[in-house]
Every structure is written in C-alpha cells, then in structure tokens.
C-alpha cells in the first residue's frame, strides 16, 4: 500500500515538472535556511585553517573550471550563430532546429543571465565563503535567501557558473529516448563537478549551487511547456523556419536597398568631386593664362620704352 502511494506520487510529480522543480527548490531553500550548519559543515570539508581553500590554487582544478565555463557558453553562442546564418542566407535551411535554438537561448538568458546574475547577485549581499569569518574572512555568515548588508562587492548567492552549466541538462530532451539516461548522467556529472569545484574554491556554499540548479530547472520546465505544449504549433520548427526565412528575406531586401542608396550617394559624391575638380582646373588654367598674358604685356612694354640717357 505504501509503495503504491509512493509510485502515484512519483507519477504525479513526473507529469507536473514545473510543480516538482518548484517544490524541490522551495524545500532545499527552507532546509538551508533552517539548518545553516549544512552550508558551514560542507564548506569546512574543503577549508584548512591558516591556509584557506588549497583547491583554489591547483592548476588542474582551475583548468577544469575554465573548460566547464567554455563548454557551457559554447552552446548558446553556437545556436545564436546558427540563427544568424539563417537570417543571412534565408534560402537555406537552419543548421540547427530553430525551436531547440530558441529554447536554449531563452533558457540561458532568463536563468543564469536575468534571474541569477541580474537579480539575485545584484540585490543579495551574501558574502562568499572565503570572505566569511568562519573561513578566514571578515564578514559574518549569512543564510541562503537572506539579503545581507555586507558582501556587496563579492556576492555568493547564487552561483552563476552552476546555473550556466545546469542549462545543459535539458539536452537530454533533444536526443533519442534510448540515449537520455546516458546524456543526463554525463551532464549531471559535469554539473556536480563544476558545483563542487566552486565550493572547493571557497567561492560558493552548497546552498548557492543547489538553489541555482533548482532555479534553472524551474525555468527549463516552464520554457518546455511554452515551446512544446501550450504554443507547440506556433513555435514548431516549420513555423519558425518560415518566420526566419521571411525575416531574412526582408532584411536582405533592406540591405539591397541600402546598398543601392549608398551606391547612388557614392556615385553622386564622386561625380560632384569630379565636377569640382574640373572647375578648379579650368580656373587654374584661366589664371595661368592671365598671368602669362600679363607677363608678356609687361615684357612688350619694356621693349618699347626707350632707355633714359645717362
């Protein structure tokens, strides 16, 4: 009986991903707020008194951080370039699925950029672990979601890098079903490793990275419902392809008209300069002729005038 209830609950949560991820993020937030020792205790695993966070000085971990950041940013940049090429060459098909491209671009813009870095990091003054008194810093510890009066120039809540790499998790929705478990596992390991790396560096608490991941999952679920359920027909690949083609051709027509106007302006400018040059040349020739005539007249007057006797 109990197992049946658990299975029904699981099926309901699976069928309502937005509600599930909202509940997950809310539960984690309440847990970290009510039991701040979780954050402190987990961070203490990577801290050495008198030394700080030695992992932050290891070149291999620094290289991994850079690699994870570049891998995360590479996806939206590639998709933006693909849509840009479609607009430049509207007669050719999109290099990537336009719906998938807009989905991930929206996810990166709304999740890490707008919510995490734009809102939370701008108004929540939670100091990073390396800046907290418990770990050799100068600021007191602040719980998750607490808007503190310190740490404004070195904010910890929430983790932008964890949110960015978590945006790769929905890739599992765009691969064949037989590969979804493997893709989720690989991306999940990357997200976990990146998050642990930031904690080991003393840059974030455990709550920072987990809440960031939860926020991204909520945004991903909302966008998935918009793109694939409520507005599936309007945002289908075929509909988006037609719109991009129409926009690209419209832009191409405007560019052609602009080039034509620019060409006429350049031609008119060159012709005006040529006319001005010819007019100046005629004036110069006339002035030279007048000067020559004046000199010749002076010479003629000089020859005709007799010299005075001594």
pLDDT tens column, 159-188: 999 999 999 999 999 999 999 999 999 999
pTM: 0.80
- pLDDT confidence of residue 123: 84
Is 303 domain-assigned?
Answer: no
How many structural domains does the chain have?
Answer: 2
**Residue 141, domain member (yes or no):** yes
Quick one: pLDDT at residue 5?
44
Judged against a pLDDT cut of 50, whether residue 310 lies above it is answered with no
CA 260 → CA 91, 226, 273, distances in Å? 22, 42, 20
CA–CA distance, 263 with 10 (Å, rounded to integer): 66
Give residue 187's Cα distance to chain centre.
20
Residue 291's domain comprises 237-298
The predicted structure's pLDDT at residue 305: 60
Q: Which residue, of 191, 219, 235, is where some domain finishes?
A: 235
pLDDT at 290: 78
For helices 206-225 and 17-34, angle between their N-to-C axes, nearest 10 degrees? 160
Average pLDDT over every residue of 255-271: 75
pLDDT confidence tier of residue 8, bands split at 50, 70 and 90: low
Whether 202 is covered by a domain: the verdict is yes
Q: Same domain, yes or no, for 231 and 244? A: no
At 11 the pLDDT is 52
List helix spans (H) across the chain.
2-15, 17-34, 37-44, 59-88, 98-108, 121-123, 160-166, 180-200, 206-225, 237-304
| Residue 306 maps to a domain | no
Residues 116 and 219 in one domain: yes
Question: Cβ-count burial of 299 within 10 angstroms (0-12 exposed, 13-18 middle, 19+ buried)?
Answer: exposed
Cα 140 to Cα 39, 126, 129, 151: the distances in Å are: 13, 9, 10, 9
Confidence of residue 155 (pLDDT cuts 50, 70, 90): confident
Show the CA angle centred on residue 202, arms to residues 22 and 171, nearest 5°.
Answer: 40
Cβ-based neighbour number of residue 43 at 10 Å: 22
Task: Report the pLDDT value the prediction gives residue 279, as an integer from 0 to 100.
Answer: 79
Which token pair is 309? 């006797």
Pair 187, 230 in one domain = yes
Residues 273-295 have a mean pLDDT of: 78
The answer to whether residues 67 and 144 belong to one domain is yes
Tokens of 49: 């008194």
Same domain for 57 and 151, yes or no, is yes
Q: Mean pLDDT, the chain, as a whole number?
A: 87
Higher pLDDT, 222 or 262: 222
Instruction: Say yes or no: 231 and 105 in one domain.
Output: yes
Structure tokens at 258: 């602009």
């Amino acid at each position: 009986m109990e197992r049946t209830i658990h299975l029904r609950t699981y099926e309901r949560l699976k069928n309502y991903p937005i509600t599930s991820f909202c509940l997950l993020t809310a539960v984690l937030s309440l847990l970290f707020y009510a039991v701040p020792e979780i954050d402190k205790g987990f961070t203490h695993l990577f801290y050495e008194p008198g030394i700080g966070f030695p992992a932050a000085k290891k070149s291999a971990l620094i290289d991994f951080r850079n690699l994870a950041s570049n891998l995360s940013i590479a996806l939206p940049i590639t998709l933006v370039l693909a849509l840009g090429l479609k607009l430049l060459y509207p007669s050719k098909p999109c290099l990537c699925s336009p719906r998938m491209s807009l989905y991930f671009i929206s996810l990166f813009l709304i999740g890490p950029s707008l919510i995490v870095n734009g809102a939370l990091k701008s108004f929540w003054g939670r100091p990073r672990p390396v800046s907290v008194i418990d770990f050799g810093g100068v600021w007191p510890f602040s719980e998750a979601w607490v808007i503190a009066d310190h740490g404004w120039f070195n904010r910890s809540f929430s983790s932008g890098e964890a949110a960015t790499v978590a945006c790769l998790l929905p890739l599992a929705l765009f691969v064949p079903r037989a590969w979804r478990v493997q893709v989720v596992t690989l991306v999940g390991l990357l997200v976990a490793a990146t998050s642990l790396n930031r904690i080991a560096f003393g840059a974030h608490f455990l709550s920072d990275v987990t809440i960031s991941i939860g926020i991204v999952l909520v945004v991903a679920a909302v966008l998935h419902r918009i793109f694939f359920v409520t507005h599936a027909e309007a945002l289908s690949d075929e509909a988006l392809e037609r719109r991009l083609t129409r926009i690209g051709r419209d832009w191409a027509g405007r560019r052609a008209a602009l080039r034509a106007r620019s060409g006429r302006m350049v031609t008119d400018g060159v012709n005006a300069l040529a006319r001005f040059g010819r007019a100046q040349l005629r004036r110069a020739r006339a002035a030279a002729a007048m000067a020559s005539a004046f000199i010749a007249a002076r010479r003629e007057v000089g020859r005709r005038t007799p010299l005075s006797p001594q």
